[in-house]
Amino acid sequence: MRDAYLVGAAQTDFGSFPDESYRSLFRTAFEAARDSVPAGIDPDDVDEAFVGTLGVGGRQLGLSGPAVTEHVGLDGIPCTRVENACAASGYAVRQAVQAVKSGMADVVLAGGVEIMTDASSDATKYWLGVSGETEWERLSGTTFAGVYAQMADAHMAEYGTTGEHLSRVAVKNHANGAKNPHAQLGFECSLEDALNAPVVADPLTLYHCCPTTDGAACALVVSEDAVEEYTDDPIRIAGVGAASDRVGLFQRESYTSVPASREAAERAYEMAGVAPEDIDFAEVHDCFSIAELLAYEDLGFCEPGEAGDFVESGATELDGDLPVNTSGGLKSKGHPIGATGAGQLVEAYKQLSGAAGDRQVEGATRGLTHNVGGSGGAAVVHVLEREQGVEA
């Protein structure tokens, strides 16, 4: 199979944009992604597109995949809409990599878009709820926050994790998001802010939960046969892993791990020929603070039960041994469901290109992105590395 490379990636601002449509948001992200390619790229070069979206808001009605690609001038190319809950565009990137590796395409667009803020709070709860198990969880009254609260409660009971550990995730990610001009909640918060915020679903407070968001993100994936046309400093998508699991939390053997994340990571590491200790930075799926703590363990960054101590040690801060969510993560940057996975690739591209500004991880040559669907029913992991091994 051929190697696949990331030659450009960009996103819109994340936030609330009542004057934008899903088409206009996607166009902004696509045009910025084109501009990020060192040698430029012509829309006529694009062979195929994969677009992730859940279709939450009323402004997203219609055949959204072809609608956005037609709107940005990609007339006639095959376009597939990918829906895998919150992992939609992470899987869109995976599909792009597969298209390139298989030889069916040389240049593929992978993106995502979501408009969430035009829906009522009840409608938003519905869409988030049906991203998990519908019949026995959502329809019986369990909210999305409630499912993750059960995970947090179980982790606390089994391993002694505390509310302060959850809050340290929020403080770190807000500190990073304050340095990201695209972040929805681009402000810092204190440990006291996070600990003492109103409870959403005990033990999760408001600062332990990501916002609802409008936004779009795009990544351009090319083959080894075409990469030299676009850049002389390539970023290789060295490993890709994906997995699924039982959708309902109550169906799983443990509430303190996301098996799909663990399996996806193992597959990505194996394909890339690396281990967790080889990763310089990571963008992980922190829809709730407990999700980031679980990711530390499931991705092999620390042993089961050690996530609380790991975040408390400062290892995952911007100047730590393994910076996590340098973009601000879902918690601060925002979580436009369909765009989140592709948005993680945007941050990885910036870090590996040395273009992350005040968030730049010194010497970064290899990064990881981790995107989860629902409460763990699906997960996808990408490992990316600078081909030349030149420090950013």
Instruction: Please give the positions annotated as active site.
Output: 86, 335
Please provide the distance, in angstroms rounded to a whole number, between the alpha carbons at the two ends of the chain. 28
| Residues 6+ away with beta carbon under 8 Å from 310 | 296, 301, 302, 316
Residue 350's beta-bridge partner residues?
none
Contact 101, 4 (CB under 8 A): yes
Q: CA distances (Å), 147 to each of 110, 202, 219, 374, 375, in order?
A: 30, 11, 31, 10, 7
Place of tokens 């995730």: 169
Contact by Cβ (8 Å): 283, 363 = no
DSSP 8-state assignment for residue 86: B
Of 141, 379, 80, the closest CA to residue 258 belongs to 379
Residue 288 tokens, joined: 């709730």
Residue 78 to residue 262: CA distance in whole angstroms: 32
Burial of 318 (0-12, 13-18, 19+ CB in 10 A): buried
Nearest to 233 by CA among 375, 38, 366: 38
Quote the CA–CA distance of 60 and 389 in Å, as a whole number: 41
